[in-house]
C-alpha cells in the first residue's frame, strides 16, 4: 500500500546553538555557526586576478556588498531577503581584507595569446594556462584565504558532458590548481555588473559571500542534532566515466561532517554490472575507498565519528556491500548504506492545488522503495522556488536500522549544506550535489598527483 507523508522542515544550527530552518534568516538572526569557535574566520583575505578593469570593478563590488544590499521588491520577502553585509558584527561576522600585493591584473600583452588562439578548445586551454599562471604568481607574493578570479572575456565555457572529455574551462582550471593551498572563486562579469538572466543583487551577494566565507575556513551553518546522539559522518560515492563512450568509471568519495567540512578521496575503477548496467566496485576497491576516506577524515578532523551513512549513485552489489562493511567494521563504526536515484519517473500531484508537491513529501511504495521530494513548494517561502516541475529522489535503503523517515529527514537536511546557494531548494544532498563536478575535475588530474582533500578546492 502506498503511504504519503510530509516531513517537517529540518532545523539548522547557527551562532550560539540557535536554530532556524532557513540559511539566510538564520545568519541574519544569529550569525554563523562558528561564532563561538576558537580561531574562527574573522577576516577573509581576498586575492584578485583578472583583466585590469575587472580587478578594480570586482574589488569595488565586493566592498559594496560587504556594506549590505537591499532586498528585491517583492511580496515574497522570505524568498528575497536583504543581504545584511559582511562586517565584524554583521552577517557572517567577518570582514573583508585585500592584502598588499594580492592583485594580478592581466595586461593586454598577456591576453594577446588568448586572442590569437584558434578554435574553442585552444582558447579554453590557453585561458586555463594563463589564469593558473597568474593565480600561482599571486600566491607567491601574497598570503590570502581565497583567490577571486574574474574570468577574462573570450574564453568559451566548453562542454561538461560524457561525450567529450577535457574541454571545460572551470574543470580544467580547478584541476590545474588542485595542488595550490588556496581555493579559488571563479566569477563572471554578470555577477558584479548584473544583466539579463541573472538573479537579483541581494541573492547574488548571499550566494557569493556564503561561498567566500566557507572557502576561507568559515562555518556558515551546521546540521542540527542532539549533542547526546552519536556523531555521524556522511559519505557520497559517485562515478565518472573515464573516457568518452567507455565502460570504465573512476570512483570518488565525498565525506562530510555535521559542520559541512568536506574531504575528497579518489578510489579505484568501477565497471558496468552484468545485470543492471550500473557502475560497481569490486569488494577490495569498495573496502579501500571507504577505508581511505575514513583515514583521510581522521587526519583532517583528528577523530572518527561513531557512525557513517553512505549514499551511492548506483545500486549496491553484494561485493560492494561486503567491502564497505569491512571498512566500517575495522573502524569500528556503525554503517548505513542508501542508494539515491535521480531518474525515478513517478510523480505526486497535490489535489486541488496548482503548486507542486511540498518539499519534504515522502512516498513509500514498498519497504525498499521510497520517493522523497527535496525540491518542491516551500511553505516558509509561500511559493515554489523553481522553474520546472520538480522530480523526486528515489530513496532505496540497502542497509539501515533507523526508520526510513529519519533517514529521509537527514537527506533533507543535507540538501542545505550547499555553500554556493544560500536557500532551501537544492535537489541533492551535499554528499551527491557536486559528485559529478568533483569527478569531472579529478579526471583531469594525473594519478601521480594526490587529489586535494579539501572540498572547497572543487567548488
Cβ proximity of 361 and 59 under 8 Å: no
Residues of the chain with CATH 3.30.420.10: 223-457
pLDDT, tens digit, 9 for 90 and up, residues 221-238: 999 987 777 889 999 999
- How confident is the model over 146-173, as pLDDT tens digits? 999 999 988 887 755 444 445 789 999 9
Q: What is the mean pLDDT of residues 423-433?
A: 90
Condensed to tens digits (0 to 9), the pLDDT of residues 300-316 reads 888 888 999 999 989 99
Q: Quote the CA–CA distance of 190 and 357 in Å, as a whole number.
A: 33
**DSSP H/E element including 278:** none
Decide if pLDDT at 1 tops 90: no
Please give the pLDDT value at position 345.
67
Domain 223-457 architecture: 2-Layer Sandwich (3.30)
Enumerate the CATH 3.40.50 domain ranges in the chain, comma separated: 41-215
Share of residues in the chain with pLDDT > 90 (%) = 66
Cα–Cα distance measured from residue 198 to residue 165, given in angstroms and rounded to the nearest whole number: 28
Residue in 278, 197, 292 with CA at minimum distance from that of residue 235: 292
pLDDT in tens, 390-399: 889 999 999 9
Is pLDDT at 282 greater than 80 in this prediction? yes
Distances (CA, A) of 3 to 6, 365, 400: 10, 7, 19
Most confident of 129-143, 157-171, 240-254: 129-143
Q: What's the CA gap between 184 and 172, in Å, rounded?
A: 13
| pLDDT tens sequence across 194-217 | 888 889 999 999 999 999 999 999
Q: Which stretches does DSSP call E strand in 37-139?
A: 43-51, 95-97, 103-106
Give domain 41-215's CATH number out of 3.30.70, 3.40.50, 3.30.450, 3.40.630: 3.40.50
Q: pTM, whole model, 2 decimals?
A: 0.92
Amino acid at each position: 500500500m502506498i503511504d504519503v507523508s510530509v516531513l517537517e522542515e529540518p532545523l539548522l544550527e547557527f551562532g550560539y546553538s540557535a536554530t532556524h530552518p532557513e540559511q539566510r534568516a538564520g545568519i541574519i538572526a544569529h550569525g554563523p555557526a562558528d561564532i563561538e569557535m576558537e580561531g574562527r574566520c574573522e577576516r577573509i583575505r581576498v586575492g584578485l586576478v583578472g583583466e585590469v578593469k575587472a580587478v578594480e570593478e570586482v574589488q569595488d563590488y565586493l566592498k559594496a556588498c560587504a556594506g549590505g544590499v537591499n532586498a528585491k521588491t517583492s511580496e515574497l520577502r522570505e524568498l528575497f531577503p536583504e543581504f545584511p553585509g559582511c562586517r565584524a558584527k554583521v552577517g557572517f561576522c567577518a570582514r573583508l581584507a585585500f592584502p598588499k600585493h594580492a592583485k594580478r591584473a592581466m595586461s593586454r600583452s598577456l591576453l594577446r595569446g588568448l586572442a590569437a588562439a584558434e578554435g574553442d578548445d585552444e582558447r579554453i586551454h590557453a585561458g586555463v594556462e594563463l589564469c593558473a599562471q597568474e593565480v600561482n604568481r599571486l600566491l607567491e607574493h601574497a598570503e590570502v584565504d581565497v583567490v577571486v578570479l574574474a574570468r577574462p572575456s573570450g574564453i568559451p565555457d566548453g562542454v561538461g558532458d560524457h561525450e567529450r572529455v577535457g574541454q571545460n574551462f572551470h574543470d580544467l582550471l580547478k584541476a590545474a590548481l588542485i595542488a595550490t593551498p588556496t581555493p579559488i572563486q571563479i566569477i563572471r562579469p554578470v555577477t558584479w555588473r548584473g544583466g539579463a538572466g541573472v538573479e537579483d543583487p541581494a541573492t547574488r551577494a548571499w550566494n557569493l559571500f556564503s561561498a567566500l566565507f566557507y572557502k576561507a575556513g568559515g562555518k556558515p551553518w551546521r546540521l542540527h542534532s542532539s549533542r547526546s546522539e552519536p556523531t555521524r559522518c556522511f559519505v557520497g560515492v559517485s562515478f565518472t566515466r573515464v573516457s568518452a563512450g567507455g565502460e570504465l568509471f573512476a570512483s570518488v568519495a565525498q565525506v562530510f561532517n555535521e559542520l559541512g567540512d568536506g574531504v575528497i578521496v579518489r578510489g579505484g575503477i568501477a565497471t558496468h554490472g552484468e545485470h543492471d548496467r550500473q557502475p560497481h566496485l569490486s569488494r577490495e576497491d569498495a573496502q579501500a575507498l571507504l577505508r581511505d576516506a575514513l583515514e583521510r577524515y581522521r587526519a583532517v578532523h583528528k577523530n572518527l565519528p561513531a557512525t557513517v551513512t553512505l549514499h551511492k549513485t548506483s545500486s549496491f552489489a553484494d561485493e560492494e556491500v561486503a567491502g564497505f562493511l569491512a571498512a566500517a567494521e575495522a573502524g569500528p563504526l556503525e554503517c548505513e548504506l542508501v542508494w539515491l536515484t535521480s531518474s525515478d519517473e513517478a510523480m505526486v500531484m497535490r489535489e486541488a492545488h496548482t503548486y507542486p508537491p511540498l518539499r519534504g513529501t515522502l512516498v513509500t511504495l514498498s519497504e525498499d522503495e521510497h520517493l522523497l521530494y527535496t525540491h518542491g513548494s516551500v511553505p516558509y517561502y509561500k511559493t515554489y522556488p523553481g522553474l520546472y516541475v520538480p522530480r523526486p529522489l528515489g530513496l532505496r535503503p540497502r542497509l539501515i536500522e533507523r526508520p526510513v523517515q529519519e533517514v529521509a529527514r537527514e537527506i533533507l537536511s543535507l540538501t542545505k549544506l550547499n555553500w554556493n546557494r544560500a536557500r532551501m531548494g537544492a535537489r541533492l544532498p551535499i554528499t551527491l550535489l557536486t559528485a559529478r563536478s568533483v569527478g569531472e575535475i579529478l579526471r583531469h588530474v594525473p594519478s601521480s598527483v594526490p587529489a586535494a582533500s579539501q572540498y572547497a578546492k572543487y567548488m
